[in-house]
Amino acid sequence: MEGFVSLFLFILFPVIGIGLIATSLSKKYSSRKSRFIFGVLSLCIPALYLLSSFKHHNKTKGLIYGEYSLKGERQIKLILKADSTYLMDSLPELSQYDKGRWRTTEWDYYELKLDGMNRQLSFRISSEGDRVVLRYHPWKKEDPKPEQELVFIKEEK
């Protein structure tokens, strides 16, 4: 879906817009003013889409700051800070304590990437009710694969 949206919004709309503006400069068409207006509008649509997705991305990023515990436990194991740093307590599944920087990526789903001291971990961001849930998602062969699903749930204060 994302590839189709990118193709349609960022390639076809600008080409159509430039074409409409170019034909509005020709005197052989009677609807030159409306062609020019539609051309400008079709050039503005990708910019408006980028602005709206940027605002949504910042809102999502603001929702994930906080403290997380493993599902079924009450002890805090992961802290995501507003300055894009994190601290992770030692987990047997991942075999070490870790700290570093975090970032979010938007694909068909939202992904949280933790760039640690010596590796990168990926989590899918979802929600259960009104709580934020992070599910460990190994990408590479060398990524550790826990025996049970590794799920962090945001603790409400």
pLDDT tens digit sequence for 40-96: 999 888 888 777 766 655 556 667 888 888 887 877 788 888 888 888 887 766 666
CA torsion 26→27→31→33, rounded to 10°?
A: 70
Spatial distance between the Cα atoms of 16 and 86, rounded to a whole number of angstroms: 45
- Which residue segment(s) compose the domain that 15 sits in? 2-61
Q: Where a domain ends, among 46, 61, 76? A: 61
Q: Where a domain ends, among 14, 45, 61? A: 61
Count how many domains the chain has. 2
**Is this model's pTM higher than 0.75 or not?**
no
Residues 75 and 48 in one domain: no
